[in-house]
Amino acid sequence: MDFAYTLSGFVVGFIVGLTGVGGGSLMTPLLVLVFGVNPAIAVGTDLLYAAITKCGGILVHHKQRTIDWRIVRLMAAGSLPGAGLTLLALRHFQQEGMDYTALITSTLGVALILTSLVLLFKRQLLEFSYREPFQAVRAVHRQLKGPVTVLVGLVIGVLVTLSSVGAGALGAAALFFLYPRLPAVSIVGSDLAHAVPLTAVAGLGHAHLGTVDFVLLGSLLLGSLPGIYLGSNLGVRLPDQVVRPILASMLLFIGIRFAL
């Protein structure tokens, strides 16, 4: 079974390197639906898996100066407290003997559906953010950009802690709307820099709750690290407009499966 986990880690890592799609969108559903892992264990393990695998990306973006640390701080000011409060709520449910599996699976379904829609309509969302009606809204929001960024971080912090999904695609989509003049590479770098501490805090919180399988985590990492390397090298050769719709459709189907 450990080899099967390692192989799954390789496949997911390869797809992440190929397309940039967040590992949580693929790994958590795979663990739950294929291997029958308890949803809470799958989420907790995947959060630490994501934090470790994305660390290398931060180093690359930092060297290229494509991280806006002010945006990262604003997002973290909302997401880290959001993650902390969500973990406290989960601990309360545990202490009361309440089964919160249904809450996690429903949140996972919603997060996957939102992620798939962002991937499917990424270009349209970006174009919409530049349209005139949205510019009028932007004039008002310009004064509140900081607090709105913190609020978006709070929502993402709760969503990611419950489902392990959303730190990548949803965070990037929000930043595209809030900071449309920021270069796309800086959006990606800032989103990645925010995702690592968020998933690390949420993952360590799950470890404290006992919902992380460290043997499973090691098996996944053993496969994912070479998978990400190979996928990243091949990714430049495949057209994004072909790969992303296929993955987005798959995530939408899985999300509906969890939400119903």
Q: How far apart are CA 195 and CA 40, in angstroms?
A: 19
Full residue range of the structural domain in which residue 137 is found: 2-259
Position 53, amino acid? T
pLDDT in tens, 7-54: 988 988 887 766 656 666 788 888 998 899 999 999 999 999 888 887
Other Cβ atoms within 10 Å of 246 Cβ, number: 10
Residue 104 CA: distances (Å) to CA of 144, 158, 163: 32, 11, 6
Asked if residue 56 has pLDDT above 80, the reply is: no
Number of domain units in the chain:
1
pLDDT in tens, 174-226: 887 788 778 877 877 888 889 889 999 999 999 999 999 999 999 999 998 88
Per-position DSSP letters for 81-121, written without gaps between them: HHHHHHHHHHHHHHHTT---HHHHHHHHHHHHHHHHHHHHT
- What is the length of the chain? 260
pTM of the model: 0.81
Per the rule left: phi > 0, alpha: psi between -120 and 50, beta: everything else, 129 is: alpha
Q: What was the pLDDT predicted at 27? A: 87
Q: How confident is the model at residue 136 (pLDDT cuts 50, 70, 90)?
A: low
Q: What is the mean pLDDT of the chain?
A: 81
Asked if residue 142 has pLDDT above 80, the reply is: no
pLDDT in tens, 58-71: 777 777 788 899 99
Contacts of residue 50, Cβ cutoff 8 Å, sequence gap at least 6: 22, 23, 24, 27, 164, 167, 195, 199, 203
